[in-house]
Amino acid sequence: MYDVIVLGGSFAGLSATMYLARSRHRVLLVDAGQPRNRFTNASHGFLGQDGKAPATIREAGRAELARYDNVGFLDGTAVDATTEEDGFTVVMADGNGVRAKRLVLATGVTDILPEIDGLSERWGRSVLHCPFCHGYEYRDRPLGVLATGPASAHQGDMIPDWGPTTYFTQGQFEPTPEEQARFSQRGVTIERTPIAKLLGDEPDLEAVRLADGRELPLAALFTATRLTMASPIAEKLGCEMEGGPQGPILVVDDQKQTSVTGVFAAGDATMPMHSALLASSSGMIAGVCAYRSLVA
């Protein structure tokens, strides 16, 4: 039996594993190999890692963890987990089970993209969710905001700091009079005809074609996706969730403890605001607090 199993091998899971490794407890890192950031070729805003590919950062982190003789690795997908008297059993897709006294869920979220021709092929490259992560690379070029809900107006307020902005309502998400006033102050153009197709050599974006046939030049398109849990494990364990602005969020306390004793969680699934740095820091807290629960 391991002391802790960490589910998820991206920034949150790697950080949790590092602190558990240094506590000299036996820890197993389970990685399905499908991180949310696999679609992008660069991570930004992460001090010391700015501009590096997420895959490169993950590989370096895993190589660092491999130097600890108390860390094990299991590549595969966890499909179930149950609570036992002395801990937890995690069941893998191949039917094998692994056991631990504590769990750290760093399983992340999955983006549900708007269904527009040419959009999914550009996700993470020229169709983006965060201007702090990717906006600087598209500065001073024509940018768009694809509205997916009332909260999209917040992006409409932000994006003009990076370049001239068009706000696409898709004929569904009309800004309020107050939002329209702010857009006017910020120089945002409101386009009510829906985007029908994204144009250019993938994954780059050159323009969008509207439903009426017009084409508007764009270098990047920002949008807020809907989110769902990337793994069923939290739900199977009975962890409490709450509604977030884009989808469900795992409820954790200041110690990253979920509503199920002994199950900790970190990363994008636990917060409405997402970045590599936030994921890594929350993983560190979850790892330290999982350790503290073992020795308390």
For every residue of 104-164, DSSP letters joined together read EE---EEEE----BTTGGGBTTTEES-HHHHGGGGTTS-EEEE--STTHHHHHHHGGGTS-
Q: Which residues of 235-250 are buried (b: 16+ CB within 10 A; e: fewer)?
A: eebebebeebebbbbb
pLDDT tens digits, 251-274? 999 999 999 999 999 999 999 989
Among 57, 39, 52, residue whose Cα is nearest residue 121: 39
Tokens of 259: 């509503």
- Tell me how far CA of residue 283 lies from CA of 46, 107, 120, 205, 268, in angstroms: 15, 11, 29, 34, 10
Whole-model pTM over 0.85 = yes
CA–CA gap between residue 48 and residue 93 (Å, rounded): 36
Predicted confidence (pLDDT) at residue 236 exceeds the cutoff of 90: yes
User: Please, are residues 123 and 113 in contact by the beta-carbon 8 Å criterion?
Assistant: yes
CATH class given for the domain over 114-223? alpha beta
- Say whether pLDDT at 98 is over 90: yes
- The number of residues in the chain equals 296
pLDDT at residue 161, as a whole number: 97
**Predicted pLDDT of residue 51:** 86
> Domain map of the chain by residue range?
2-111+226-295, 114-223
Residue 245 has pLDDT above 90, yes or no: no
CATH 3.40.50.1360 fits 2-111+226-295, yes or no: no
Q: Check if 2-111+226-295 and 114-223 are the same fold.
A: yes
151: pLDDT strictly greater than 90 = no
pLDDT higher than threshold 90 for residue 13: yes
% of residues, the chain, pLDDT over 90: 92
Q: How far is it, in rounded angstroms, from Cα 234 to Cα 245?
A: 19
- Name the phi and psi angles at 29, rounded to 5: -100, 115
pLDDT (tens digit per residue) in 122-138: 999 999 999 999 999 99
pLDDT tops 90 at residue 29:
yes
For residue 48, what pLDDT band results from cuts at 50, 70 and 90? confident
At 31, the pLDDT band (50, 70, 90 cuts) reads: very high
Instruction: Please tell me the predicted confidence (pLDDT) of residue 150.
Output: 86
pLDDT value at 212 more than 90? yes
pLDDT range class, residue 104, cuts 50, 70, 90: very high
Across the range 174-193, mean pLDDT stands at 96
The mean pLDDT value of the chain amounts to: 96
| Position 121 pLDDT exceeds 90 | yes
pLDDT score for 45: 84
